[in-house]
Amino acid sequence: MASDKSKAKSAAKKNSSKAAKSGGGNVLLVALAIALIPVLAFVVPEAGRLYHLTGLSHTPTLTEQTCKHVTADRLEGCEDLAIHHRSGRVFLSCGSVATGKLDELKIAGLETVGLRSQGLGIWDPVVDDRSKKTSAAGDSDAIVIMVVNHRSNESVIEIIEHQPGTTEAVLVETARHPLIQAPNGVLPVSARSFYVSNDLYNTDSKGRMFEMLTAREWGGVVFRSEDGEAVQAANGIGFANGLGTNYNRDLIYVASSYKKVLVYERRVDNVLSLRDQIDVPVLADNLRVNPVDGSILVAGNTRFLEFLKAMTDPTARAHVEVVRIANNTGSDAYYGVKYTQKTIFGDYSLESTPLSTADYSPQYNKLVLSTIVNPGFLVCDKTL
């Protein structure tokens, strides 16, 4: 009988020991699960965001259009373009531009430093300056072209004056400021003031690569006044790219290459206040605004891996689209749908790869498109 009691006590001790071990294991699992909550809260949405940027979940849109591929010697890498609507001329920011049917501007003042251009913007005092002030050159018909120039030792904004109808231009100012550190797009708002996007925060190659591979939202927009002072107008933008504005210049549009177009209200101090965020199906590059109806055209590539390959392989094609964004006037505007989107150009060809800019001439019903690295540009028949 005593032996049975001893065995029972021994079994109870073993069971108690197992329960204690089991309970300790459960506590560790619970503690581990709690510790993982903030990690998962960051990783899961981040993984979803990065997957969205790959474009694999988007079915590309292909459209039919009639286009002419314009090519010439040394006409390549036209990353940005802008139509001067009053003259019907197209100005392109290229790796090099040849003379012939296409006029290469001879810019007095840049002979020694050279021009490694990226974004560009046009200020036409006849159209844009309501006060009709004369230019610095004393000719009210001259236009101002602002160009992002990546010099060998710094990145600046070159302010150039050009007389339409000629092939000559003159450098009137080189705008530099510590806040203009990684300029991409430029938007003139007067003959000497402008907004400029800094696509990334870092300026060194390793830092920039980290920002791009992890899709950090560290870019921003800077406003530079006519007296040379500058202020940080907006922060927290993922690869801030092309810029645009409405007719009254009280709204500023910013293309984020992380598939967004941001709409900002321009305050009296020229700082920007975020009003709307519009998700788009493209890695938004440059954007342009239709001067007639105020709609936004944003161009870009839809799939990130295709885009990367096309940047280094001249034989690679990528799915590209031009999206038109307009104010919603339909019945669903009542339910908070403020904007409409429509793909007006969708392509998968070498000529449009990798797409960077689309501008539209309502006067001639032409859609003009440029690519980042490939030769030439496209002129397409289009009625919007």
Cα distance between residue 342 and residue 323, in whole Å: 6
> Binding residue per annotation — 301?
no
Residue 349 clears pLDDT 60, i.e. is over it: yes
Examine residue 354 and say whether the peptide bond preceding it is cis (omega within 30 degrees of 0): yes
> Binding residue per annotation — 248?
no
> Confidence band (pLDDT; 50, 70, 90) for 48?
confident
What six digits make up the tokens of 261?
A: 């177009």
Mean pLDDT of 161-176: 92
For domain 67-381, the CATH architecture is: 6 Propeller (2.120)
> Binding residue per annotation — 246?
no
Host H or E run for residue 75: none
- The rounded mean pLDDT for the chain is 86
Mean pLDDT of 2-27: 54
Mean pLDDT of 1-19: 52
Residue 176 clears pLDDT 50, i.e. is over it: yes
Least confident stretch, 124-138, 201-215, 328-342: 124-138
Cα distance between residue 158 and residue 213, in whole Å: 30
CB neighbour class for 130 (10 Å; exposed up to 12, middle 13-18, buried from 19):
exposed
Mean pLDDT of 140-161: 90
Residue 20 clears pLDDT 80, i.e. is over it: no
Per-residue model confidence (pLDDT) at position 287: 96
> Binding residue per annotation — 374?
no
Mean pLDDT of 321-331: 95
Query: Rounded to the nearest 5 degrees, what angle is found at the Cα of 263, between the Cα atoms of 48 and 179?
Result: 90
Q: What percent of the chain has pLDDT over 70?
A: 80
For the stretch 268-301, pLDDT in tens is 999 999 999 999 999 999 999 999 999 999 999 9
